[in-house]
Amino acid sequence: MKNKVYFIIIFLLSFSANAQQEHISSFNALTVTYKFHPKFFLYAEGQLRGIEDFSYPDYYEIKGGVGYNLTKNHKPFIGIGRYGNYKNHIMDKEEFRVWLQDVIDLKSGKFKFENRFRAEKSWFYEPLKDVHSDRIRLRYRLNISVPLNADTVKPGTIFANAYDEVFFVTTEKPSFARNRVFGGFGYQIDENFGIATGYLWQREFAKSGNKNIHFLYLALNITIDGSDDKDYQFPGAD
């Protein structure tokens, strides 16, 4: 009986220690999709994340690119972005990134299955250490969305969204560097504005030890599309 009590106490202490180390982080995004041609569209996104402190941003992203609607369900894309990590309110690491992406959508009834393949090249600079480095990373995401109160996503539609994304780094070890799992909901307010929110679990794999990050995601999505056949895109936490 005493052994069982000791085991329970040790388990609770261990659980408590892990719970104190892990907390909810913030993930805020603003996205703009501008369809300026029947085949071409521009995409831009800004992000602020509070990883160590929910209310104080310590990471940002500014990125964008141009995509091509090869077909209604096939959209190649090329992107470019700048990223920054802060520690103790001081810039710790800067990143410049370019990527090639291909998105293939499959539909079954009301469900949409988005297959996203991405290849990235990044250049880093750590100003406090004056160190330069680079990285090549490959990503795949399966994103599933379904409208809940309509047959398709249109103004006034509530939808559910879930995805799993895996990250592989070719220039570092371990090669399997990250896994993301997301679940949430969105609402298409009108023809131009939509909102989305949800929970994102991110698992980081490293030689020094693995790490879990728990994000509360909140995004405002703006779509500018003058065509009659509108297609509302919700990129999700990226």
pLDDT digits (tens, 9 = 90+) for 80-90: 999 999 999 99
pLDDT in tens, 185-213: 999 999 999 999 999 999 999 888 899 99
End-to-end alpha carbon distance in the chain: 50
How much of the chain exceeds pLDDT 70, in percent?
A: 91
pLDDT confidence of 4, banded at 50, 70, 90?
A: very low
- The residues with which 133 forms a beta bridge, in sequence order, are 124
> Mean per-residue pLDDT for 24-52?
96
